[in-house]
Structure 1
Amino acid sequence: MTHRLALVLIAFLSATGVAAQATEAPTAPGAENTENAPQLVRSGLDAKLEDFRWVNRLIVVFADTERDPRFIQQMELINARPEALLERDVIVFTDTDPAAKSPLRQKLRPRGFMMAFVGKDGIVYFRKPLPWSVREISASIDKNPLRQQEIRDRRQP
């Protein structure tokens, strides 16, 4: 029920012109307190992969500048369907400052634009040099054995 309400809220906010604010911090399905709801998109400058192991899947989007057209396109694609990523326990980290040498940048070693997917187990499952739609990202996540187990567990009464 709250998942449907969140979708209706996002659709309403899109129609009223505040979609950018809605997709920066959408309400997680089942979250009752919006103050404690997880943010979908966060800065990755201080993030460490280990802090999210067995809790969240991570999409990490790197670019040398926030003006990179591939970075802009990737973020537009992500912001177009945040509910699909939230349903899969995804957090999106962005890093557009190579000079900062963030822990994520040191671990994943991007060159220019790169989008990487890190599973809940901490394994880097893919790195892509071009933007991917949320549909493509979701399909890749759904092939993961841990995600398949989560789906099976939700089906059982």
Structure 2
Amino acid sequence: MKLKRLIILAVVPLLAAMGPKPEGDADGHRPYVRGEVPAARDGAPAPGGPLTGAAAQALTVLPASEADPAEFLWQARPVVIFADTAADPAFIRQLADLQADPAPLLARDVVVVTDTDPAAASPWRRQLRPEGFSLVLLDKDGQVKQRKPAPWSVREISRAIDKFPLRRREIGRAAVP
């Protein structure tokens, strides 16, 4: 018990000395901030700013054309849903399942990215190379952790995320006072 307290007292000042996170890179891209509506690519401010109240409980779903994979690095876990068309029944079912119960996904910092246009060749599609319907789970470090050719329930996605090494560390840190 005393050792834990000693470690915490030594680590907290070190973390505070690191300073705040950078606001963005030279291209003007700001990192993803949990609960914030991403700004339009033309530099316009984000409509509405940070989310509050009931809107904060809504799952962030972004089209692949508006989301850059680098935005989410170390900030969120992208769940990328690919389909050849927006009318794909598996795509529709997957989105409905995710939006029906967003709380477990929000607790795990999940952002949903959708890509239904193979011809557009988005960075997501070039990087992940899906075929037809595909669900891809990425961790905060940007690495692909799971690929599924069929829709998954929120429970299955949550359980898969809880097995990621970074998530296990987050859970461990949450228990430290």
- Using the size of structure 1 for normalisation, the TM-score is 0.75
Q: Is residue 161 of structure 2 the alignment partner of residue 144 of structure 1?
A: no
**Greater shift in the superposed pair: 35-44 or 54-63:** 35-44
2:49 alignment partner, SS class:
helix
2:65 alignment partner, SS class:
coil
Map Cα deviations across residues 104-139 of structure 1 (whole Å, 9 max, x no partner).
011111111000011001110011100000100000
> Equivalents in 1 of 2:144, 2:157: separation in Å?
13
Residue from 32, 36, 44 that aligns with 2:64: 44
Gaps of 5+ in 2: 1-33, 36-47
> Equivalents in 2 of 1:144, 1:109: separation in Å?
22
Q: Is residue 146 of structure 2 the alignment partner of residue 132 of structure 1?
A: no
**Is the 1:44–1:94 Cα contact (8 Å) retained in structure 2?**
yes
How far the C-alpha of 1:48 sits from its partner, in A, is: 2.4
Q: Is residue 52 of structure 2 the alignment partner of residue 35 of structure 1?
A: no
Residue from 96, 107, 127 that aligns with 2:116: 96
* Structure (1 or 2) with the larger CA radius of gyration: 2
How far the C-alpha of 1:92 sits from its partner, in A, is: 0.3
RMSD (CA atoms): 1.7
**Is the 1:46–1:103 Cα contact (8 Å) retained in structure 2?**
no
- Using the size of structure 2 for normalisation, the TM-score is 0.67
Letter in 2 for 1:88: R
Q: Is residue 135 of structure 2 the alignment partner of residue 115 of structure 1?
A: yes
> Equivalents in 1 of 2:141, 2:133: separation in Å?
24
Gaps of 5+ in 1: 1-26, 29-33
**Is the 1:43–1:95 Cα contact (8 Å) retained in structure 2?**
yes
How far the C-alpha of 1:50 sits from its partner, in A, is: 2.0
Letter in 2 for 1:86: L
How far the C-alpha of 1:153 sits from its partner, in A, is: 1.1
Greater relative contact order, per chain length (Cα 8 Å cut-off, separation 6+):
1
Letter in 1 for 2:94: Q
Runs of 4+ in 1 over 3 A off after TM superposition: none
Structure with greater helix percent: 1
Q: Is residue 95 of structure 2 the alignment partner of residue 81 of structure 1?
A: no
Letter in 2 for 1:35: G
Letter in 1 for 2:61: V
